[in-house]
Amino acid sequence: MKEFIDLYAKLVIGTFSFIGPSFTLLISIFYKALEKSKIKHQEQLLNLALASSSNQNIKKLIKENEKEIERLDPKKQVKLLFGGLLLSLGLICFYYFQHSNFWHLQHQWIRIVSIVLSFACFCHSLLVLWQIFCTIILAKSDLEAQSTEKKYPKLKKKAL
C-alpha cells in the first residue's frame, strides 16, 4: 500500500509540474480563438434570452451556452484546475505528516479519508483539464471554420 501511495504522490506532483507550463502555453496560443468563441456564445445567449424562454429546448440551449461561457473563462479554469491539484498535494502531505513522529493520534480513518479526498480532488482536476482541452479544440475549430468561410464563401453556398 505504501508503494501505491508513493506512486500516486509522484503522479500528482508530475501532473502539477507538467500542467502549469502546458496550460500557460495553451491559453496564450489559443487566446484569440477562446475570446471569439466566448463572444459567439454570449451573443447566442442574448438571442436565446430574447426568445420565448418557456420552451424546454431553449432552456436547455441557454444552460449549455452558460456552461460553455464558464469553460471559456481562463481565470476560472485555472482556479479550478490548480485548486484541485494543490488541495490534492496538501492532502498527500497531510497523509505523510500523519506517518511522522509529530503526529500522535493513531486513527487510521484519518489517513484513509485524506487519501480518498486527495484522489477525488485529483480526479476532479483531471476532469477540468479534459474539459479545457475539449473547449480549446472546439474554439480553435470554430475559428478555423470562420476563417475558411471568409476565404472561400462560395464553398459554403455550393455545399448547401
Q: Are 48 and 62 in contact (CB under 8 A)?
A: yes
pLDDT at 160 over 80: no
Is residue 143 scored above 90 in pLDDT? no
pLDDT at 18: 86
pLDDT band per the 50, 70, 90 thresholds, residue 53: low
> Is the CB of residue 78 less than 8 Å from the CB of residue 111?
no
In this prediction the pTM is 0.76
* Per-residue pLDDT, 120: 97
Residue whose C-alpha is closest to residue 19's, from 66, 84, 116, 67: 84
Q: Is residue 106 scored above 90 in pLDDT? A: no
Q: Which three cell numbers stand for residue 2?
A: 505504501
